[in-house]
Amino acid sequence: MASDQFAIETRGLRKEFGRTVAVKGLSLQVPRGEIFGFLGPNGAGKSTSIKMLLGLVRPTGGDAIVLGAPAGTVDTRRRIGFLPEDFRFYDWLTASELLALHGRLCGMEHAALRRRVPEVIEMVGLTPHADRRLRGFSKGMLQRIGLAQALVHEPDIVFLDEPTSGLDPIGRRMVRDILRAQRDRGATVFLNSHLLGEIEITCDRVVFIKEGEVVAAEDLRNRSRDETRVLVAAHNVSPSALAGLERWCTAVVADGDQLSLTTRSKELVPEIVRHLVSSGAEVYEVVPQREPLEELFVRIMGKDPGL
């Protein structure tokens, strides 16, 4: 089933821990060069799935192909970066030493490391702390160095299990920029996070998993092109201008100066604005509304059944 188009393909991947079924039958296709969000409630099997894709946990059943080879081969592991959920490392090492050690384990040469280590430390904003021991690092600083170790060897896929949970808003923005830069150089990013606001603006595509199975998938790039609700604040909208909106809108609700319009596509918004302005209306605000990912998540997952 391996195909060059996909960085990761799984079929019926399953993991049981004794009587607990952690992953029931995961079937996934992750295209190369995308930022892929892996979403689901606590205990859904996300971390276990990631560990199976890395070869750290042996599946009870099913197949997983990563970069064209069965998950977990030594060669594939070298081309993968991983930031675990709970990043802990030898805390007597300094930030630079940790990255050099990790790079060497991935087969990097000394000269390449001398160039690359300061570069990734800079990328995660830790240059002033490069020679400090990890023991003294704060939670967010550890998460940053964890991200740096996942990227030091310029992997083809990077798995990030909750990369921003301990980060301040500037750190989160930094991670977002770093992930986009990874995608731009052709890497695949596999991201698991409960921070759906982050996911929404970072990911190209997401899947939702529940009890170890994919229950829904969403292409976030298409979402903005689909039917959109737009809130418009405008003075002097004449009745005929309002009636004319029907050309572009499937629903029009007017409440004083506030219009709520539903259009088939976001691409129609400029035409709507042009129509309003040319009919003499004064337009103050045009705000497209989308169902936030969080709402979608709750709708798909239903009520919290408890763990």
Ligand X SMILES: Nc1ncnc2c1ncn2[C@@H]1O[C@H](COP(=O)(O)OP(=O)(O)OP(=O)(O)O)[C@@H](O)[C@H]1O
How many other C-beta atoms can be found within 10 angstroms of the C-beta atom of residue 31? 14
Bridging pattern class, strands 61-66 and 69-70: antiparallel
Q: How far apart are CA 70 and CA 79, in angstroms?
A: 13
Beta bridge partners of 248: none
The reply on whether position 47 binds ligand X by CB under 6 A is yes
The reply on whether position 193 binds Mg ion by CB under 5 A is no
Nearer to ligand X, 103 or 212 (CB): 212
Between the alpha carbon of residue 119 and those of residues 38, 125, 188, the distances in Å are 29, 10, 20
The reply on whether position 40 binds ligand X by CB under 6 A is yes
The reply on whether position 305 binds ligand X by CB under 6 A is no
The reply on whether position 49 binds Mg ion by CB under 5 A is no
Residues in 174-213 at the binding interface with ligand X, rule: CB under 6 A: none
Candidate list 3, 5, 20, 236; residue touching ligand X; CB under 6 A: 20
**Helical H segments across 236-282, by residue range:** 239-244, 269-278
The reply on whether position 58 binds ligand X by CB under 6 A is no
Torsion of CA 110, 111, 116, 121, to 10 degrees: 60
Interacting partner of 79 out of Mg ion, ligand X, none (Cβ under 5 to 8 A depending on kind):
none
The reply on whether position 45 binds ligand X by CB under 6 A is yes
**What three-state secondary structure class fits 158?**
strand
Site string for ligand X, 84-113 (x = CB under 6 A): -x----------------------------
Task: Spell out the long-range contacts of 169-172 with Cβ–Cβ below 8 A and sequence spacing 24 or more.
Answer: 171/125, 171/140, 171/143, 171/144, 172/198
CB of 15 to ligand X, least distance (A): 8
With contacts defined by CB under 6 A, how many residues of the chain interact with ligand X?
Answer: 12
Nearer to ligand X, 22 or 191 (CB): 22
Binding residues (CB under 6 A) for ligand X: these are 17, 20, 22, 40, 42-48, 85
Binding residues (CB under 5 A) for Mg ion: these are 46-47, 85
